Amino acid sequence: MSWETKLPATLETLTEAAHSAPAVFATSLGVEDMVLLDLIAGNSLKIEAFTLDTGRLAQETHELIARAEERYRRRIRVYFPQTEAVEQYVRINGINGFYLSKPQRQDCCGIRKLEPLRRALAGKAAWVTGLRREQSEARADVARREDDRSFGLVKFNPLIEWTEQEVWDYVRAHDVPTSRLHDQGYPSIGCAPCTRAVQPGEPARAGRWWWEADSAKECGLHVQAADTLFVSSKEAA
Ligand code: SF4
């Protein structure tokens, strides 16, 4: 298989999402999301792109937002966390309190990611993500289209069947802009203090919250309501 053979199903899913107006596309600026942005912009689909600026992103991510906006002539809407909530978290836990325990890490993700995501998805009918089944065990059962009970809308995952190789083949074929962090060994793009480069052979998400022992490296963005109230051990970026 190749990305060319999977592209028709991907475009069909994106078109269905666009018809489920209002639809939005959540991008972390990772390579999968850059492929989706290229497809959405290239096919003039009415799907607004947004990202969550947690206040702890790498400079490379901000630089890519600017590069992508210039390339695609589209604004990527940026949602920030609530100032008061961040200030209170830091007052209680310290500036890097997320390293101290898993609940403290989950609280930080709740404030910096989940609350802004809820605002970004409020009033929307559908959202699009760059999840791929290959990325982790927690994502092995992801469907192309699913009811997202956590946020009360339909979630479209157009790249579920793409392999990492196919994603990069598409990027090279279309000269898609990507994060300079990928060149430094970061397969997954997240907050700077919570993401490290991985070694050859390590799982793609091994660099996320690497100090936590358990295997479910997720942060809540892609967890169904039945599995969690606000944060859970399967939270996702
Ligand atoms: S990934 Fe780290 S810095 Fe970012 S919101 Fe989660 S705990 Fe906070």
Domain contains 139? yes
Q: SS3 of 234, please?
A: strand
Which of 13-22, 63-72, 148-157, 207-216 shows the lowest per-residue confidence on average (mean pLDDT)? 207-216
Phi first, then psi, for residue 52 (nearest 5°) are: -105, 115
Q: Which atom of ligand 1 is nearest to the CA of 195?
A: 1
CA of 98 to the centre of ligand 1 (A): 7
Q: What is the reported pLDDT for 100?
A: 96
E-state strands within 54-177: 77-79, 126-128, 145-148, 153-156
Q: Mean pLDDT throughout 59-84?
A: 98
Q: What is the pTM of this model?
A: 0.89
CA of 8 to the centre of ligand 1 (A): 35
Ligand 1 neighbours by CB, cut-off 6 Å: 54, 56, 98, 105, 108-109, 112-113, 190-191, 193-194, 219
Give per-residue pLDDT as tens, 32-53. Answer: 999 999 999 999 999 999 999 9
Which domain CATH number covers 132? 3.40.50.620
Of 109, 191, 194, 219, which residue is the catalytic one? 219
CA of 107 to the centre of ligand 1 (A): 9
* 219: annotated active-site residue: yes
Phi first, then psi, for residue 208 (nearest 5°) are: -95, 130
Are 128 and 17 a contacting pair, CB within 8 Å? yes
Domain contains 191? no
H or E segment and range at residue 48: strand 48-52
Give per-residue pLDDT as tens, 128-165. Answer: 999 999 877 777 788 999 999 999 999 999 999 999 99
Domain contains 214? no
Does the pLDDT value for residue 83 go beyond 90? yes
CA of 18 to the centre of ligand 1 (A): 30
Distance (Å, whole) CA 51 – CA 28:
6
Give per-residue pLDDT as tens, 189-209. Answer: 899 999 999 988 888 778 889
Give per-residue pLDDT as tens, 88-132. Answer: 999 999 999 999 999 999 999 999 999 999 999 999 999 999 999
Q: Which atom of ligand 1 is nearest to the CA of 237?
A: 1
Domain contains 92? yes
Overall domain count for the chain: 1
Q: What is the reported pLDDT for 164?
A: 93
Domain contains 47? yes
Share of the chain above pLDDT 70, in %: 89
Q: Pick 142 or 225 by higher pLDDT.
A: 142
List own/partner pairs for 204-209 with CB under 8 A and 24 or more apart: 204/135, 204/136, 204/164, 205/135, 205/136, 208/237, 209/105
Distance (Å, whole) CA 203 – CA 121:
30
Does the pLDDT value for residue 230 go beyond 80? no
Domain housing 48: 3-184
Give per-residue pLDDT as tens, 160-190. Answer: 999 999 999 999 999 999 999 999 999 888 9
Domain contains 229? no
The closest residue, in CA terms, to atom 8 on ligand 1 is: 108
Domain contains 77? yes
